Structure 1
Amino acid sequence: MIPQDKVAEIIETARVEEVIEDHVTLKRRGANLLGNCPFHNEKTPSFTVSPAKGIYKCFGCGKAGNVVNFLMDHEQLSYPEALRSLAKRYNIEIEEEELTVDQRQELNAKESLYIVSQFAADFFQEQLTQTQKGRAIGLSYFKERGFSEETIKKFQLGYSPDEWTALTDAAIEKGYQLDFLEKTGLTIVKEEKKFDRFKGRVMFPIQNISGRVLGFGGRILTSDKKAAKYLNSPESDIYHKSKVLYGIFHAKKSIVAKDTCYLVEGYTDVISLHQSGVENVVASSGTSLTIEQIRLIKRYTPNITILFDGDAAGLKASFRGIDMILEAGLNVKVVLFPDGEDPDSYARSHTQAEILSFLDSESKDFIKFKTDVLLKEAGKDPIKKAGLIKDIVESIALIPDPIIRSVYIQECSSMMGMEEEMLLTELNKSRKQKISKKLAAPNESTPQINVPEYLPQEGGKSTTKKINYQEQDIIRLMIQYGLNEIELEVDKDEKGNPIKEPFKLVEVILSDLMQDDIAFDDPTFALIYKEFTDAYEKEILLEEKHFIHHIDDTIRQVSIDLISQPYELSAQWEEKHQILTQRETDDLFKTIQSGLNYFKFKKLNNLKNEKRKLLTDATESEQYTDILLDIIKIDTSRKNLAKILGIVISD
């Protein structure tokens, strides 16, 4: 349990823009920052971060929240996990009671899997450095690979003893449940027997983007042909290999700084390049590249260079995966290492300057490279050349940007000695087929526009109701400008000059609404208004951050939606072009008066409709007369407000 004063300190200290910039490339736009949303695939940036307010909002998919919510949604963390992550980042000490066995059992299953995985990583590292067998076998292997002690510590490399239950016994002795050891794949349970999955292997912990251990890769050191050389953790609630890139935690900042990402195949490729000073590198860990992994890279850069060992023919098997990268809108290059070399061996035998020079000089644009490879393979065979044309054009057709497609068509036309018009015809045919398939069966990569619903759900179906814009505007003004001061006339002096006093905007709105005893119809707006009035009666004025960091998800989401704007006026309108623009903050009193009057006008319209219904149902003459008098009074008030608002009413 994290004390509330520490929660407040963490939220006050954490900078939403700093945390999000670890995962999203942001560019300044006025007072806010803008980038591509990490929660859905988009080409045009709609993800806005407001450092001043401490919030983010995507105007494409609707995702919004504060710095804690971002970590919870982006990294699938619980609320306490997100707070602890921020506390660690900003060096805020949290004093929590040490968990007992019973308390540990009460933690949710996912958190327990994280805890067990971290225990295993610590255990393997301790075995590597603190035991005789670990140093003689595991540490010797890493030293032979040229890994320094600093590198071994950085990547939390370890050793699993060549014993059947070393880790399992140690974990159970410390109070960890066998069930969680089995669910993470660290322990294999068969009937009454249990044994360590990674027995006798050097260990490579696999971390997520925030550094939490999700799973492991283990390499065997014996020549046992029956055992797999590399063994990975099985899928679990926290480890999904299709969504993870090895080394992303250590590489993300460098990827953003260098604006490119090197993609390799194995753990040692990543580690050796890191140790050589090339840190913007990640690995797919031997799995075929997935769309989730591609999107993960795209959060940090649109540029990816794939490093391959072996000859060009071996690369053909990877063409389909690279086509997926093109379709996601990334720029792809490839580098082939000399025969007998791979990223690991090359990094160990060359300096940082030599590696960077090699990568720069040998990187080739993928489309050109693929065309060259297939042209050599086709030779003078016309049938193969026809197939080559179709293959190349299909890759180009995947590229979202029409200008880039056009450039590639021109270059391929020159390389293949074919008319550009013929390639364009084939390109259009390919794109038409692809679009038809997408229209017939849209997939998850198609971004969906999410219109926020402010009403609760019933029976699993969304309740639809038109938003009351007048109520919405009043709530927005109270949240966004509640503590802004406005001066109001309270009296006149002896000479008839006005005497003014400062009031908080929220005081003016609340006193006005409470005097007329006006209620809100929308349930969420009603809850927010009640919080304002309850606090006001205790002489407390709630501020914006109270709602931005609200414990209730719906109130927090609605509040952030209300105060977030997709656009802001450029300062150049006034500074450069001398065009004066009107802002609602220029005259807040006029803004709230207008908002209150529209709100009351809407309420009077609704009340009149209710009275009309009662009038038709009235059975007694006296009752009929009373209702009619009420309608006349309502109409008088409506007409007075309509005159102030400049509205023409016909009934």
Structure 2
Amino acid sequence: MRERSPIADVVGEHIQLRNAGGGNLKGLCPFHDEKSPSFNVTPARGYYYCFGCAEGGDVITFVRKIENLTFTEAVERLAQRAGIQLRYEQGGYVPGREQGERLRLIEAHRAAAEFYAERLSGPEAAPGRRFLSERGFERADAEHFGVGYAPNEWEALSRHLMARGFTSQELIKGGLAREGRRGPVDRFRGRLIWPIRDITGDVIGFGARKLLDSDDGPKYLNTPESPIYHKSSVLYGVDLAKREIAKRSQAVIVEGYTDVMACHLAGVPTAVATCGTSFGEEHIKVLRRLLLDQAEFRGEVIFTFDGDSAGQKAALRAFQDEQKFVTQTFVAVQPDGLDPCDLRVKQGDAAVRDLIASREPLFAFAVRSTLSRYDLNTNEGRLAALDAAAPVVASIKDPGLRKTYVVDLDRWLGFMDEGFVIQRVQQVVGRTPEGGHAPGRRQAARGAAPARSAPVRQEPMDPAVRLEAEALKIAVQRPALLGPEFDALGAATFTLPEHVALYEVIVAAGGTAAAGPGGREWVDRLLEQADAGAPGETGVDLRPLVTRFAVEAVRADVAIEERYGAAVLAKIQEVAVGRAVAQVKSRLQRLNPVEEQQEYNRLFGELVALEQQRRVLRERASGA
């Protein structure tokens, strides 16, 4: 299964990966918040590891964690992706009801999407086709986005899906139907339907627009929360936009399904929208991973809002989350209040592109929106506007950026007294919990410790311990470079308990002499041995350490790997001999050379031999 599911491809469906050198790829971790990428993928060995939160494993582990699946469901998910038909050990094909819950719900939603799309061409769907046409969408556009129509019947979809083997419980659990008096009743009836897909392209829910006057429901109705649909982390259109978002380092946030369609068709293929909820923290996490959002300020997140008061309030809400991005954030507002869909209908594709191009920084928009509520022609109005805008400026974490906006605020208000404006803003900063002491966005990206989902042991500063780690890393990744000499080192060569335990796991798995060139099979063997336990085990799960050493880059250039392996072996032996030298010297100091001459001479001879051995190892290490 793993051979048919390259880990870089599977992980790349969720986060943007970039070359990190040494055959590794790097991106922002999907399992914890971080400013700088510490999530590494090694395609050659099929493993990933995050140096920020210590999450690691193979492609099955990744799918299990990212989609919250059981092992069986993850295997089924990968099999479906690779086009593999699974068989259970009992024999025969897996009956539909025995498959994992998520896979069943995904299949039900795929079938529902096909059902709705087919109904769009029927006579009953004329109001839906008219709705699309009035908004500038053709039949091909509807097909591209999978738009469909839900018949105005109580059980049309339910009957169709149950005839295909899905149960009423599955339809209700997935939000496709609700419980009626005599069985499941369709949730969407007489409405235009947009399939909502996750980042991998699977349909996980639907958005439905009211068409009929007799429908007393809300204008838009969305799938409720379900095992596969969580609106706080879903972005409509992300499956179509993700590659362009990564390529252009730009994401455009719009407010509705038709706005996403209009933007994509007008030449803004980075547009996405939330689904029945405001833009929030989980949405930010999704976009940061696609943007590879880090400290270089290279990317853009552009919010589009209506020009009315509600749109301005939405923009100000977005301002509260702005500083959770590292990249630059902007607002694009059409002065006449047209959303991208209406703008495209009235003024054409170029007008939509111009709207996005006319963006202004979100900070500037937030300050200007605040000032617009006051009469700036009077001293009283300007002073009130200053006091209202000061908290907005004071909340900017980057001190340099905050000072720049203080200067702009003075200019926009016309005081022509920067000192006075700075003093007013500083008074507000002093009352803010984080105040002026919060790190700048660049500082936070580089200096602040990322939030972690699990405690991680820090890399020891002791050079000898780092050397142990490097030797073990080579043993996991390139065992042939070490061979039987590594196996003969003995557990006493290592000092950290987890290093001792991992060395014993390596030996118990056959040792580096029997590992051949290494690769995925060798790492798998080590993981199995770590599960089975090894002599002198620490009680700590060694699998994360094996995975980490399988992914973390070896410090040597590929061209000198063979010499590097020999040098590391010599150095680690030299350190071990050095410890033995120190012990012998300590014992010699405690002896009386006259009264205990025989023991003293024996230890002195041992010391001379150890010093000679250390000299040879040092020469080998430097000359290797």
TM-score (ref. length: structure 2) = 0.75
Q: Which residue matches 2:96?
A: 104
Q: Which residue matches 2:280?
A: 290
The answer on whether the counterparts of 2:192 and 2:208 sit within 8 Å (CA) in structure 1 is yes
Q: Which residue matches 1:579?
A: none
Q: Does structure 1 residue 267 correspond to structure 2 residue 257? A: yes
Cα displacement (A) at 1:385:
4.1
Pick closer, same or farther for the CA change 1:31–1:158 going to 2, 3 Å.
same
Q: Which residue matches 1:230?
A: 220
Q: Does structure 1 residue 61 correspond to structure 2 residue 53? A: yes
Cα displacement (A) at 1:403:
2.9
Pick closer, same or farther for the CA change 1:214–1:178 going to 2, 3 Å.
same
Distance in 2, Cα, partners of 1:635 & 1:387: 87
Number of equivalenced pairs: 567
Q: Secondary structure at the match of 1:410?
A: helix
RMSD, matched Cα: 4.7
2:483 aligned to which of 485, 488, 506:
506
Q: Which residue type is aligned with residue 590 of structure 1?
A: A
Q: Which residue matches 2:569?
A: 592
Q: Which residue matches 1:379?
A: 375
Cα displacement (A) at 1:251:
0.9
Cα displacement (A) at 1:294:
2.1
Q: Which residue type is aligned with residue 198 of structure 1?
A: F
Q: Secondary structure at the match of 2:152?
A: coil
5+ residue gaps in structure 1?
A: 440-444, 455-466, 485-504, 572-581, 607-631, 647-651
Superposed CA offset, 1:148-168 (max 9, x none): 343323322222221112222
Cα displacement (A) at 1:549:
5.7
Q: Secondary structure at the match of 2:236?
A: coil
5+ residue gaps in structure 2?
A: 292-298, 439-447, 459-463, 532-540, 584-600, 616-624
Q: Which residue matches 1:616?
A: none
1:558 aligned to which of 534, 542, 545:
545
Which fold has the larger relative contact order, with Cα–Cα distance below 8 Å and residues 6 or more apart in sequence? 2
Distance in 2, Cα, partners of 1:102 & 1:87: 13
The answer on whether the counterparts of 1:535 and 1:541 sit within 8 Å (CA) in structure 2 is no
The answer on whether the counterparts of 2:331 and 2:362 sit within 8 Å (CA) in structure 1 is yes
2:18 aligned to which of 18, 21, 26:
26
Q: Does structure 1 residue 332 correspond to structure 2 residue 338? A: no
Q: Which residue type is aligned with residue 595 of structure 1?
A: I
Distance in 2, Cα, partners of 1:194 & 1:21: 34
Q: Secondary structure at the match of 1:300?
A: helix
1:408 aligned to which of 384, 405, 413:
405
Pick closer, same or farther for the CA change 1:633–1:452 going to 2, 3 Å.
farther
Q: Secondary structure at the match of 2:204?
A: strand
Q: Secondary structure at the match of 1:307?
A: strand
Q: Which residue matches 1:178?
A: 168
Q: Which residue matches 2:621?
A: none
The answer on whether the counterparts of 1:396 and 1:408 sit within 8 Å (CA) in structure 2 is yes
Superposed CA offset, 1:520-578 (max 9, x none): 9957964774465444699553714235567669555312322555896899xxxxxxx
The answer on whether the counterparts of 1:528 and 1:555 sit within 8 Å (CA) in structure 2 is no
Q: Secondary structure at the match of 2:240?
A: helix
1:119 aligned to which of 104, 111, 123:
111
Q: Which residue type is aligned with residue 260 of structure 1?
A: Q
Q: Which residue matches 2:516?
A: 541
Q: Does structure 1 residue 323 correspond to structure 2 residue 320? A: yes
Superposed CA offset, 1:405-432 (max 9, x none): 2322222222123433344445445455
Q: Which residue matches 1:435?
A: 434
Give matches, 1:419-430, under 5 Å.
419-430=417-428
Pick closer, same or farther for the CA change 1:517–1:469 going to 2, 3 Å.
closer
Pick closer, same or farther for the CA change 1:429–1:111 going to 2, 3 Å.
farther
Q: Which residue matches 2:450?
A: 447
The answer on whether the counterparts of 1:37 and 1:47 sit within 8 Å (CA) in structure 2 is yes
Pick closer, same or farther for the CA change 1:9–1:255 going to 2, 3 Å.
closer
Q: Which residue matches 2:295?
A: none
Give matches, 1:127-138, under 5 Å.
127-129=119-121, 131-134=122-125, 136-138=126-128
The answer on whether the counterparts of 2:24 and 2:40 sit within 8 Å (CA) in structure 1 is yes
The answer on whether the counterparts of 1:160 and 1:203 sit within 8 Å (CA) in structure 2 is yes
The answer on whether the counterparts of 1:163 and 1:200 sit within 8 Å (CA) in structure 2 is yes
Give the share of equivalent positions with the same residue, in percent.
27
Q: Which residue matches 2:353?
A: 356
Q: Secondary structure at the match of 1:8?
A: coil
The answer on whether the counterparts of 1:393 and 1:426 sit within 8 Å (CA) in structure 2 is yes
Q: Secondary structure at the match of 1:219?
A: strand
Pick closer, same or farther for the CA change 1:528–1:592 going to 2, 3 Å.
closer
Q: Which residue matches 1:395?
A: 392
After superposing the two structures, state which structure 1 stretch, 471-480 or 76-85, moved more. Answer: 76-85
Pick closer, same or farther for the CA change 1:260–1:434 going to 2, 3 Å.
farther
Distance in 1, Cα, partners of 2:402 & 2:514: 64
Distance in 2, Cα, partners of 1:30 & 1:542: 17
The answer on whether the counterparts of 1:66 and 1:549 sit within 8 Å (CA) in structure 2 is no
Q: Secondary structure at the match of 2:54?
A: coil
Give matches, 1:360-371, under 5 Å.
360=357, 362-371=358-367
After superposing the two structures, state which structure 1 stretch, 418-427 or 73-82, moved more. Answer: 73-82
Q: Which residue matches 1:142?
A: 132
Q: Which residue matches 2:178?
A: 188
Cα displacement (A) at 1:382:
5.4
The answer on whether the counterparts of 1:120 and 1:167 sit within 8 Å (CA) in structure 2 is yes
Distance in 1, Cα, partners of 2:553 & 2:423: 39
Cα displacement (A) at 1:220:
1.8
Superposed CA offset, 1:379-405 (max 9, x none): 046565445334433333444433332
Pick closer, same or farther for the CA change 1:403–1:281 going to 2, 3 Å.
same
Q: Which residue type is aligned with residue 167 of structure 2?
A: Q
The answer on whether the counterparts of 1:205 and 1:215 sit within 8 Å (CA) in structure 2 is yes
Distance in 1, Cα, partners of 2:341 & 2:12: 31
Superposed CA offset, 1:113-159 (max 9, x none): 33332232232223334x5535x454454344433343323322222
Q: Which residue type is aligned with residue 572 of structure 2?
A: G
Distance in 2, Cα, partners of 1:193 & 1:147: 37
Pick closer, same or farther for the CA change 1:286–1:182 going to 2, 3 Å.
closer
Distance in 1, Cα, partners of 2:138 & 2:353: 21
Q: Which residue type is aligned with residue 451 of structure 2?
A: Q
After superposing the two structures, state which structure 1 stretch, 386-395 or 72-81, moved more. Answer: 72-81
Distance in 2, Cα, partners of 1:153 & 1:140: 15
Q: Which residue matches 1:308?
A: 305
Q: Which residue type is aligned with residue 545 of structure 1?
A: R
Distance in 1, Cα, partners of 2:307 & 2:55: 44
Q: Which residue type is aligned with residue 518 of structure 2?
A: E
